[in-house]
Structure 1
């Protein structure tokens, strides 16, 4: 594909707040579950796909859950119902959260995801072995041949990156006239080879030279051996789709992949650059309430305000 002009691309700055919030699911935890929300969404998605569940239904469940979680965190359907909400009330809360972040979304896709938000998680299923490996496999950070690695800590893992790209790709797909399901599958499958191939980044890939493609192919097949033949074939087809940017689905995927890689780095830099003025005034760390004047007086007294 020829280089696309900026004006020709169906992405814009209005996407960044939503994609940033979704990326932060890599860093969102709660007491009742192990791993980040993103890590658990990756496991839930692959458990459902490996069990032969419909890929479209899996995409809708994972992406709608992620959109609601951008604002509600781990207050998902199951937790809300455990805490006393009816199924209908829980669905209303989740849809309200989704609506808060839905600004840039394609209206038809948004409506489809809004309908799915109250359906609950896919049925639990045994997880392929690569799921746990990818959750333990950290991303390389920023690497460049001939230069030392720039470590980003805490590091995201490959399960978190993969599901973030899958979610982004599904959401961006309509703008590229792409199938959201195919774009989602490409995202969730694109780093299966990393289950058995530790990530040494761009630097390591260049050092492998002519051996790189073979190493990746063998490592991917090791992961695919955890799947039934039909599901493995689906994953191979999803990965084959993204060897270039010749199709709408590939362009949606590659847009999602590069955005996640850069936004992940940006969040580390953003946190480092935050000032107390931003935290107290823009984010209202000490927010309005009956004791705010007292809180402000305490902070002024010790020199923090």
Structure 2
């Protein structure tokens, strides 16, 4: 599934920028990554699990429908583009907009508006996004036409992440835990965004991250502490259970993953650098999310986020709160 990198911006998404040109993840882009991470926590009534979990399942089903390099590239572009739009629109996607009667052009305008709103906060720190913006699809995806996902995919959606653990210290338990589907999809989208900085096609980067927790289809997550305590058994256990998941895939897909996945173990190659950038971002931003949630104050909602929205009834609502003694 390896695509040939191009030196033209906006083509396959593996543009000419080198990692040495500046930070791979500039501070100006962190808000976008945080908002993308929130897809692990956003839900709606149209399906089970978070938006990220559902995108994780959909991505695997789409991959099985056509695992060719070109199709994997299209998958990465489409899912990443729509994830960026969903960072602001949440579950209001092309399907909902079509149900509400918006024309194809109107749906595309809404998706582009959301995409531009979130990406503009990065002040160019995400690099060239022409190929991603062009991948916004106003036509709802008919998931009924896609093949069923392998068993390990649903298992990863059910399998919670361990969070922060240590071999000689008590774990820090945070609720609710994210799933492995959440983490893999977020890491896949982050990887697709970072990939051009290292000359890696977005599709290849997306695929590695999507598949990087195959052993956890069977292996409950005990975190870093569990890895250390498994000791000499840890790598053999991972290898055996990864093969159990690979065996559920078509032979060509499994073989390509056997070639790609080992590259993520080190940062001495482009695929490894992309993956490890995205993986550490997601793991640490997840911890920051829990810290922010624990420190959330009413003032942030009232003053910073305008929970009492500007509009025709805002002054009336503010008076109600003031008279009730609610600051």
TM-score (norm 1): 0.93
Task: Give the gaps of 5 or more residues in structure 2.
Answer: 1-18
The separation in 1 between residues aligned to 2:218 and 2:288, in whole angstroms, is 28
Q: How many residues align?
A: 299
Task: Give the superposed CA RMSD.
Answer: 1.7
Q: Does 1:131 align with 2:153?
A: yes
Q: Does 1:105 align with 2:126?
A: yes
| 2:106 is the counterpart of 1:89 | yes
Counterpart of 2:182 in 1: which secondary structure?
helix
Deviation, structure 1 residue 112: 1.0
2:50 maps to what in 1? 36
Q: How does 1:50-129 map to 2 (within 5 A)?
A: 50-53=64-67, 54-103=71-120, 104-107=125-128, 110-118=129-137, 120-121=140-141, 123-129=145-151
Which aligned pairs between 1:182-193 and structure 2 lie closer than 5 A? 182-193=204-215
Equivalences for 1:192-271 in 2 at 5 Å? 192-271=214-293
User: What is the deviation of 1:58?
Assistant: 1.1
Asked if the contact 1:95–1:117 (Cα under 8 Å) also holds between the matched residues in 2, the reply is yes
Match of 2:16 in 1: none
Q: Distance in 1 between matches of 2:26 and 2:133?
A: 23
Query: Matched residues in 1 for 2:97 and 2:208: separation?
Result: 31
Structure 1 contact 50–128 (Cα < 8 Å) conserved: no
Deviation at 1:120, TM superposition (A): 4.5
1: CA distance, partners of 2:213 / 2:25: 24
Question: Can you give the 5+ residue segments of structure 1 that lack an aligned partner in the other structure?
Answer: none
Shift of 1:218: 0.7
Partner of residue 272, structure 1: 294
